Amino acid sequence: MNKMAIFVEGYTELVFVDRMVGEIANRNAVLIEWRQVRGGTTTRRTSRQIKAAGPRAGQEHFILLYDCGGDDAVKSRMVQEYASLAVAGYSSIVCVRDVYPKFSHAEIPRLEASLPLYVRTRPIVVEFVLSIMEVEAWFLAEHSHFARIDPAISLTAIRSSLRFDPERNDMQLRLAPAADLDDCYALAGKRYVKGNAQATVDAIDYAEVYAGLALRFPYLGKLCRAIDDFLKRN
């Protein structure tokens, strides 16, 4: 069985990556398990399964998603788990984290340079993916989902009331995309709350994410390719 581990910062990224894997996999057999890891610095470290994958017999692909509980925890959790994942025969590891709020746009090169430091590359190469500035920048850019949340959230209303354009502007340049997404939803009397993004994740057009946005946003493209390459292995 091919096995892949993906470390993300929180629940929003967990449900998004889970859904994206399913959409990319299409008819390919893939099992996904969720684990939540907390503590380990000043409190006792805990790791618990929060979604079971189901029976593994006869399945070709298995993906373990880790909810790490914060941006800075993504790399450290991966480092803690690396040896056991290698022993268990995992072939791929991906770490996904936001840039905001700890780092600014100007500090992205420094963050990029720091991520691979002191990380083992054998037997598993670790790939790092940055959502700039937050994963919600990708949600904003997939602007067709607004109408599926509520028809009142139109591009015309966003341009007029909020003075930015998810269709034409680069959403990676927004300082706080989650707050922008909440402002967009507020046009229809709704809220976007980071960590409670299931409705948004369900409304996203994943064909557009995979075939369109992945070409515009290099790190999103890197994530899509990593999943795609993994699913093509026999």
Residues of the chain with CATH 3.40.50: 2-132+217-232
- What confidence score (pLDDT) does residue 214 get? 97
- Residue pair 199/19 in contact (Cβ under 8 Å)? The answer is no
**Residue 112 to residue 222: CA distance in whole angstroms:** 14
Closest listed residue to residue 150, CA positions, set 190, 198, 194: 190
- Find the mean pLDDT for residues 214-222: 97
Binning pLDDT at 50, 70 and 90, where does residue 58 land?
low
Q: Which residue has the tokens 């028809």?
A: 151
pLDDT tens digit sequence for 137-194: 999 999 999 999 999 999 999 999 999 999 999 999 999 999 999 999 999 999 999 8
pLDDT digits (tens, 9 = 90+) for 86-138: 999 999 999 999 999 999 999 999 999 999 999 999 999 999 999 999 999 99
Phi/psi for 23 (5° steps) reads: -70, -40
**How far is CA 162 from each of CA 17, 85, 134, rounded to the nearest angstrom?**
28, 45, 19
Task: Judge whether 91 and 2 are in contact, CB under 8 Å.
Answer: yes
Position 1 pLDDT exceeds 90: no
d(CA 77, CA 70): 10
- Which two tokens mark 9? 């910062």
Q: Rounded to 5 degrees, what are φ and ψ at 44?
A: -65, 135
Are 69 and 9 spatial neighbours (Cβ–Cβ below 8 Å)? yes
Q: Which helix (H) or strand (E) covers residue 66, if one does?
A: strand 61-67
Please confirm whether the linkage preceding 123 is cis (ω < 30° from 0).
Answer: yes
Helical (H) or strand (E) element with 80: helix 73-87
Phi, psi of 144 (to 5 degrees): -65, -20
Pick the CATH number of 2-132+217-232 from 3.40.50, 4.10.860, 3.90.550, 2.60.40: 3.40.50
Residue range 12-48, pLDDT digits in tens = 999 999 999 999 887 567 899 999 987 766 666 677 6
| Joined tokens for residue 148 | 């599926």
List, for residues 63-80, the tens digit of each pLDDT value. Answer: 999 999 989 899 999 999
**Which amino acid is it at 46?**
T
At 41 the pLDDT is: 62
Write out the H or E segment, with its range, that includes residue 9. Answer: none
